[in-house]
Structure 1
Amino acid sequence: MVSADTLSDSSFVAQIAQSGLAEVVLGNLALKNSSDTSVRRFAGKMIHDHSNTNRELKAISGQLNLKVPSTLGPEKESIAEELRTRAGLEFDIAYANAMVDSHSKALVILDQRVGKLGNEKLKTFAEKTSKLISEHLEHARDLQRTVR
């Protein structure tokens, strides 16, 4: 029988992994489609930070025999598809908006779920990642204000 903690941990891993993977994919799109220095700098930071976080989550999940998604789900793929159709300032604005939205949603998941996680390593990961995502959200809001 699967425990509620295992289900909670598994669901958390899937949601946060999808979010982290999307940040890398969208960051790569920004490097490709934006000529704005601040957007490109932010995208590079997202790729770096979320790649590291994704690796850490994958390592913890492997120890717990929890599956980590390796592709974007429908919601995240839809965002990527929308961004692929944009260029220039239109891309930059859409990317900044997507970053505020995605980091806001990730922060809610992290903060709401941390107390419900069954594994201490996942709890520690969630607490540490929540701080990083909070910083990213503030930078995304700054970016959103500057790319108008």
Structure 2
Amino acid sequence: MARTYWGAGLALLVLAGCAETQRAADTTVAAAKAQVNPTLSTSDAAFMTTATRGGLAEVEMARLAERNSRSPAVKRFAQTMMRDHGRANQEMLALAQQKQITPPSTMGAEHQATYDSLAQLRGAAFDRAYARAMVQDHEEDLRAFQTEAQEGTDPDVRAFAARHVPVLQEHLRMARQLPQR
């Protein structure tokens, strides 16, 4: 029995590593394909692609939370996600147009998998899973936005990231207060 447990754990670690590698490759390829503006760095274009996918996912998962949640706190959080990420998505679309790149129109495979998993849950089980997903997602988003704000090469993209760091910090604080057990 122990052998099976450790084998399954190892398999999950390997799959997680493969998923992370594939996600990075997918983002870079999407950014390169989307990029028309030769003056925009690949890393800035990749950030824009990742941020757009994340923003789309936040809005869709928040809509799901409005339907599947039992918690008033989770529903309020979801409304905040729709409002704030909806605004950021509009701002990102304008920035993409200005920078002459084609933003993605879907949330991407990783976010879709999370969405699909959450869509199967209702009530308290949904609330816990959604809260955990939002903490993890906002931790990742915050790191990416902070990195872009500090290291981005395009001043407009860097400024977009810097403007949204405080919002993401607040979202992370709020997500950590949601029921996770």
Q: What TM-score, normalized to structure 1?
A: 0.92
Question: Secondary structure at the residue paired with 1:70?
Answer: coil
Q: Distance in 1 between matches of 2:90 and 2:116?
A: 25
Which residue of 56, 61, 66 maps to 1:26?
61
| Structure 2: tracts of 5 or more residues without a match | 1-36
Structure with higher Rg: it is 2
**Structure 1 residues 116-125 or 22-31, which shifts more?**
116-125
Question: How big is the shift at 1:123?
Answer: 1.1
User: Cα RMSD over matched residues?
Assistant: 1.5
Q: In the alignment, is the contact (CA less than 8 A) between 1:8 and 1:116 conserved in 2?
A: no
The corresponding residue for 2:89 is: 54
**Structure 1 residues 129-138 or 111-120, which shifts more?**
111-120
Count of aligned pairs: 145
The corresponding residue for 2:145 is: 110
Q: Does 1:9 align with 2:44?
A: yes
Question: How big is the shift at 1:147?
Answer: 5.0
Q: In the alignment, is the contact (CA less than 8 A) between 1:8 and 1:117 conserved in 2?
A: yes
- Identity percentage of aligned residues: 34
| Structure 1: tracts of 5 or more residues without a match | none
Q: Distance in 1 between matches of 2:38 and 2:152?
A: 14
Q: In the alignment, is the contact (CA less than 8 A) between 2:65 and 2:74 conserved in 1?
A: yes
The corresponding residue for 1:138 is: 173
Q: Distance in 2 between matches of 1:69 and 1:132?
A: 22
The corresponding residue for 1:129 is: 164
The corresponding residue for 1:93 is: 128
- One-letter amino acid of the structure 1 residue matched with residue 117 of structure 2: E
Q: In the alignment, is the contact (CA less than 8 A) between 2:129 and 2:180 conserved in 1?
A: no
Question: Secondary structure at the residue paired with 1:66?
Answer: coil
Which residue of 101, 104, 108 maps to 1:66?
101
- One-letter amino acid of the structure 1 residue matched with residue 121 of structure 2: R
Q: What TM-score, normalized to structure 2?
A: 0.76
Q: Distance in 1 between matches of 2:171 and 2:127?
A: 16
Question: Secondary structure at the residue paired with 1:139?
Answer: helix
Point out 4+ residue stretches in structure 1 off by more than 4 angstroms.
none
Question: How big is the shift at 1:36?
Answer: 1.1
Question: How big is the shift at 1:140?
Answer: 0.3
